[in-house]
Structures are given as structure tokens and as C-alpha cells.
Chain A
Amino acid sequence: MQNIDRLILRLGEMTLKGKNRSRFEKTISEHVRAVLRPYPKAHVRREYGRMYVETGGESVEALIQVLKNVFGIMDIIPVKQTLPQLDDIIAAAVELIGEQQIEQLTTFKVSVKRVWKEFPHSSQDMNHLVGSPVLRAYPLLKVDVRQPEIELRVEIRDGAAYIYSELIPAVGGFPRGSNGKAMLLLSGGIDSPVAGWQSMRRGLEVECIHFHSYPFTSERAKEKVVDLTRVLAGYAGVVKLHVVPFTEIQTAFTTTGQDNLMITLMRRAMLRIATKIAEQQKGLALITGESLGQVASQTLSSMNAIERATELPILRPLVMTGKDEIIQIAKEIGTYNLSILPYEDCCTLFIPKSPTTNPNLRIIEKVESFLELEPMIERAVEQTELMIIEAGSPLQLASATINEDWF
């Protein structure tokens, strides 16, 4: 794609929301500028309902790769730009089709849109004027106006003509952070990072909360979560990670003798802590990676008993999604390989032999009342460690022992 001068970014469904449109476009434009920071020669321009990126000589492939992940962009169109003159347009069209390396019979059509009405040829005429030289240059092309495999589009505006044929689908969704903030309960597993990414794609600003039970779990388990957060930060720019010390509470639960209620008790305590952190950070909901029926704590009656521990709405993006599909998304967004690293986290540790699938709320509340939970929860919130994870940054934890000069 060395002949591409610019990329058109078409914005997605948010354009429907009339009043917010301008704010949304501004957010996307900021996000685009942020991901393009490593490409100083690229230049961004905003226009109604779309955005232009002048490549300025940066690698088009690299630009597309980062722009594809910007929330709110529906698709990316690599464009050749010329003066609005017939000869230039034809030359550019021939060159653009040449890049597709046509090796077998391929159907084709030209669609010309003449926005600049002073242009001397009508759209109808232009279809023919551009189409014939292209067909002559590439004998394997055949015209099919109904279902062409290649549609060569020409847009003639005052001052410039844009020639393009390829639409590259992008991630879509709503602009980053445009729908408010919520707190993601991030374990080290496969589901919660996916739930986080999906929430981000729907325009939520996500802060992550991780429960860490040192020394029952290792530093590696924590590092893994930092890495997962870093992958998420790759989509949002920056993500906050709250690491909550959970050892005291977990130990307290193990002394109750209620092994089969362990998970329910733990999950309720986590929700209480997360709720408090959400209040501090002005988050309006909690997000979990729960998927209905996947494990004992994710049956409907477990969810029912657990959810009563908070008054915040719980968003469960994956609640009706099957495991295979979740894994597929995890692979696509780059969290899967991290998630399957085999470090114990506080949920896999102390798993009882037969966790209950139908917890009795009355018993749970009774157990909790014996434990004087509230001060422990306060302490955990107080001792929570806040980490700011930036896209592409090296491991924050690792930097303590890693001397960059060694590498």
C-alpha cells in the first residue's frame, strides 16, 4: 500500500445520537491522536461524520493496525488523493487497482460521486471515463454493476479527488469513555479481560480491581494481572488498576468451617470492596466476567445471593456468551495467552470440593455477621494499591528489578 496518501475513518453508530455527536467525534479524535503519537508524520483532520489521517509517509499498514482498535471507528478506507482532474483520477485509479494484484477473473465496477458540481463531467460519464482505461490496463477485470468483487469509488470534491476501493472493518462501538465509568473485577482468568474490553468498546471508562492474596498467591499472579491490564490499556490508552490485599478476609472465611459457602462469601466481600472503591472513583457500576452457569458461583441462584451484597448495578457483558466464543474474543484482543498462564489466583485457591450452587442467603448473612467483616473491608480498601498502567509501558512491577541498561 505504498501509494496510499490518506485514510478515511468512518465513524459508527454514534453518529445516530444527534446531540452527542460533536462530543463523541471529539473523543474519537483525541483517541486517534493518542494512538498516532508514535507516528509523528501522520496528521489527523476532522470532518462531519468522518476523520482523515494523512499518512505523511508513515507505514500505512502500521497506521491501520492501530486505528482498527480505536473505539467508535466503524471502518477504515485507504485512499489515493489527486487533483480533481480527469487524467490524474484515471492514473490514480489504474495504480490503485494494480496494488490488488489481480490474478484471476475478477468482477468490477466504478462508482463516482461528484460532490463538487463544477467538475466538467457528470457522474454517469465518469463511470465510463474511469472504467474503460482501468479495464484496458487489467484484462482480467470484468464489469458487474450488481455484485462486483471490487468496487472502485471516486469522490470528487472541490480541490481534491479521492479514489479508493477497499473498506477495512474496524472495532466499532462507542468512543472511549463516552458512556461513563465502571469498575471491572479483574481476575487472572479468561473471561474478565474480555468483559472489560467489551465494556470499553461500548464506551465505558473501565478501572480494574484485582484481589491479591499474598502469600497464598504469588507475585507472578499479580504481575499477570498487570500484564492483562496493560493489554486493555492498549485499547484505552491508560487504565487504572486497584490491587486489593485480600489475604485477611480470605483467611477469616476459611476459619468459619463453611467450606462450601467459601466462594459465595468471597465474592460478596469482593463486591463490597469494589463498591467502596467505585464510590471513591465515581464509578457507576461494577463489571464482571460472569457467564451464566459456567461455574458454581455463576448459577442464577448464586448470582442472586452474591449480587445482594452491592447496590450498584452489575454489568455482565458475557452472561449469555458461551466459553468457546469468549476464548475466541480473548485470542483476538490478545489476552488469552496471558490468561492461561498457570498462576494461582485467589479464586482458584482454596476451592472447596463441592461449592454450593444454591447458596442460602440466610446462612450466609449469619456467617458474615459473626465475622465482623466491616472493619476488615475498610482495611482492605485503605491498603489498596493503585497502579496506573499505560499502553505499551513496560511492567511497572518489573521495573523494580529490571535495569533497562542491561538490555
Chain B
Amino acid sequence: MKYFDYAATTPPYPEVIQSMAEIMQKHFGNPSSLHQYGEEADRLVRHAKEVTAQILGVKPSEIIWTSGATESNNFALKGAAMRGGRTQGHIITTRIEHPSVYECCRQLEQIGFDVSYIDPASDGIVRVEDIQNALRPDTIIVSIMHVNNETGAIQPIQQLADWLKKVQSRTLIHVDGVQGFGKLPVNIAQWNIDLYSLSAHKLRGPKGTGLLYVKQGTELFPLLAGGGQENGYRSGTENVAGIVGMTKALRLASTEQSALSERLLVWSEQLKIAIQSIEGLVLTNPSVSARHIVHFSYPGMKSEVILHSLEQQGCIVSTQSACSSRKAEPSRVLLAMGVEREHAASGIRISLGDQHTKQDIEHLIIALHQTVTQLRPLERRTR
């Protein structure tokens, strides 16, 4: 089986597994304990923060460990919205966000916040002008993803931040960086953003670990109350092994980023050319998209059928984002881009990683050809 669903999750680096196993054996202490075991565990957590801060080019005190990007995104949005115990105000996000942002905004609407959902243009990219038009004096936060998880569309973070920090610097900017880190250059300081979410398992780190960058001086309402860990931002005994494992994965991913990016360019172009040459398949990648995601649709064929057929050929791909793919509806992201329902219900995402080889890509291209040949008699022509 060849795995082409790196945007859903990734196999951990063997080095990550080894470092976590050793830490779980040797350092099971609770970092909050005063005794030696606690001190050792605490030292690991603090050192991990120093290393991570250096990788991200931020201060160690600006990093909050979380259980993953879903928590990071929830914390960024709810924490910012409810700071100072508020229940009113305005939030701007986009209609192509991951469910952990999108559904979180829906919840905030129920409590009493106003949310503007900005549609992307047909290329999958949200226009800064559209966000500009939605800005209000009481806008608390603008939340946008760096790279869309279904189409790979790269969002104009720098442009958005430059504008927002000029016109209304009190409004926070949150960037969901999950699909961008390790694939594209990331420079939090230069972007001048306030909040940035990451998840380890998309970067060959362990599941159940993530982080939220919180710019110094940013007030957030803690979601988890308790022992006051993470400077009171996030209570709960630290996942020591997970945190160290994540740090290792972040380090490996950031060192390999530019080399990987070049390989991905070659492979994604190869795949795109192949897809365009297969009759019946439509390439749906936006023009400005991250190189690890190739997206196409097969109008007239349900995504799930294509997925299983490719699986038969030994290739694992995905329909929409993993978090949404158990739902029967067509992709919300594609619909927001103005893609027709029929196209949106037949989307397939191929996502690549650092372990792929030239042979894997060739294998996948053959499988695509065979799948279409196999399915062609079953196409449902609606027009």
C-alpha cells in the first residue's frame, strides 16, 4: 500500500518514537512536582520550549503546549473572544477554514458573538479586500489558515497582517498554520501575527500534541482551568514525551523544509500533468497552492467510489479533509469556491510527504489511469 494522505496525518519519524519511548521510561515525573523527578521532567519541557522557540523565531514564553491544533484553534478563538469575560463582539473568519475553526465560530455565534464568514474567490484564495470590507470597530479577531487543507490554496497572510496591523492593531490575527509549516517558509515575527496554531502529527510527530504561539502581551481567556500550568494559559499535566517528540519533529521538518519543497514541486507538477491528461478528471488546485497537495475531481463519480477504487490499486488518498470526510455532504470548501455541487461531491485530495519516492509517484499515476478506465462505464452523466 502506498500512503498519499499526508495532509490527514503522517507516520512519525523513527527518531521521534525513540526519543518518546526513552523519555516515557526515564522521565515519568510530573513537571509540577518539587522533587527530583519533577524537576527533570520540567527541565525537558522547558528545554523543548527553548528549542521550539528558536525554530519558530519567537520567545519561549510565547509558546503554549496544547493537545493539538483543534485545541489551539479553539483556544485562540474562544480565548480571544471571551477575554475579560466578554460575550459580545465581532469575529472574522473564512468559509474554507478547518472545522476546528469553523465550528468553533458557530459555537461562538450561539453564545452571542457576530461572525463574518468570508468566501474565497474561485481560485480558493480569500481576498484581503473582502476581509477589509467586513472589518468593524468591534472586530476582536481575524482567523485565517495559512494553507487550505483540501485545495492547498495559500492565503495572503503577510498582506492581511500588514493591512490589519496598520488600520486597527487591537484586532488580533490568528493563523492556523497546520498545513503550511514544513512545506512553506514560516516567519511569525515578520508576519507580525498574534496567534499561530500547529499540530505535531502533520509533521511526523506524535498525535495529541500541538502548540499555540501567543504573542507576548496577548490576553486570552483560558479554556482549561486547573493547576495553572503554562503560565496559567493552559492547565493540565504536560505531555512530557509528546512535547519532546513534537519538538524533534518540528526541528526535523523545519531543517528539511526547503529540500522537501523542491522535491514536492517536481512530483506535484508530474501528478498535475498526468491528471490533466486523463479524460474525465478535472484539476481543481488553485494557481497559488502548496506543493504537497494535489486536488482533482471526477465529475459524475462520488468521491468515495474513487477513493476505494484507488485503494484497490494500492494507493491511499482522501476525499475531503479527514475531519469532514465521514460526512456525506459535498465539500464545504469547494462549494465556497463556487465549484458546482457535482464537482464538489467528487473531489479527491492527494497529499505528499518526505518519504515518497519517484517510483511512488509513477505508481500513483498508473493507478489513476486504471481507476478511470475501470470506473468509466459507471459514470453518471447528468448533462
Contact = CB atoms under 8 A, between A and B. Distances in A.
Interface of A: 218-220, 223, 337, 394-395, 398, 401-403, 405-407
A401 B40 contact: yes
Contact of B43 (A218, A337, A398): A398
Nearest to A218: B34
Contacts, number: 40
Nearest to B231: A337
A218 B34 CA distance: 8
A406 B22 contact: yes
A406 B61 contact: no
B247 A407 contact: yes
7 nearest interchain CB pairs?
A406-B19, A401-B40, A407-B51, A398-B43, A407-B247, A406-B244, A402-B47
26 contacts: A218-B34, A219-B36, A220-B39, A223-B43, A337-B61, A394-B47, A394-B50, A395-B43, A395-B47, A398-B43, A401-B27, A401-B40, A401-B43, A402-B43, A402-B44, A402-B47, A406-B22, A406-B44, A406-B248, A407-B19, A407-B47, A407-B48, A407-B51, A407-B244, A407-B247, A407-B251
Among A401, A402, A405, A407, the most chain B Cβ lie within 10 Å of the Cβ of A407
Interface of B: 15, 19, 22-23, 27, 34, 36, 39-40, 42-44, 47-48, 50-51, 61, 244, 247-248, 251
Nearest to B47: A402
Contact of A398 (B19, B22, B34, B47): B47
Contacts of A402: 43-44, 47
Contacts of A337: 61
Given A394-B47, A395-B47, A407-B248, 4 more contacts: A218-B34, A220-B39, A220-B42, A402-B47
Contacts of A401: 27, 40, 43-44
Contact of B23 (A219, A223, A394, A406): A406
Contacts of B50: 394
A406 B22 CA distance: 9
A223 B43 CA distance: 10
Contacts of A218: 34, 39
A224 to B, nearest CB: 11
A215 to B, nearest CB: 11
Among B34, B43, B251, the most chain A Cβ lie within 10 Å of the Cβ of B43
A405 B19 contact: yes
Contacts of B40: 401
A337 B61 CA distance: 9
A398 B39 CA distance: 10
Nearest to A394: B47
A223 B47 CA distance: 13
Nearest to A337: B61
A219 B34 CA distance: 9
A403 B15 CA distance: 13
Nearest to B46: A398
A402 B50 CA distance: 13
Contacts of B39: 218-220, 223
Nearest to B48: A407
Contacts of B19: 405-407
A406 B43 CA distance: 13
A395 B49 CA distance: 13
A223 B38 CA distance: 14
Contacts of B48: 407
A29 to B, nearest CB: 28
Contacts of B51: 407
A218 B33 CA distance: 12
A407 B205 CA distance: 12
A403 B44 CA distance: 9
A347 to B, nearest CB: 19
A395 to B, nearest CB: 7
A266 B247 CA distance: 44
Contacts of A220: 34, 39, 42
A63 to B, nearest CB: 16
Nearest to B19: A406
Nearest to B244: A406
A46 B40 CA distance: 47
Among B40, B61, B247, the most chain A Cβ lie within 10 Å of the Cβ of B40
B26 to A, nearest CB: 9
Nearest to A397: B43
Nearest to A405: B19
A218 B51 CA distance: 25
Contacts of A403: 22
B25 to A, nearest CB: 12
Nearest to B166: A103
Contacts of A407: 19, 47-48, 51, 244, 247-248, 251
Among B23, B27, B47, B50, the most chain A Cβ lie within 10 Å of the Cβ of B47
A1 to B, nearest CB: 13
Contacts of A395: 43, 47
A162 B11 CA distance: 55
A268 to B, nearest CB: 30
Nearest to B246: A407
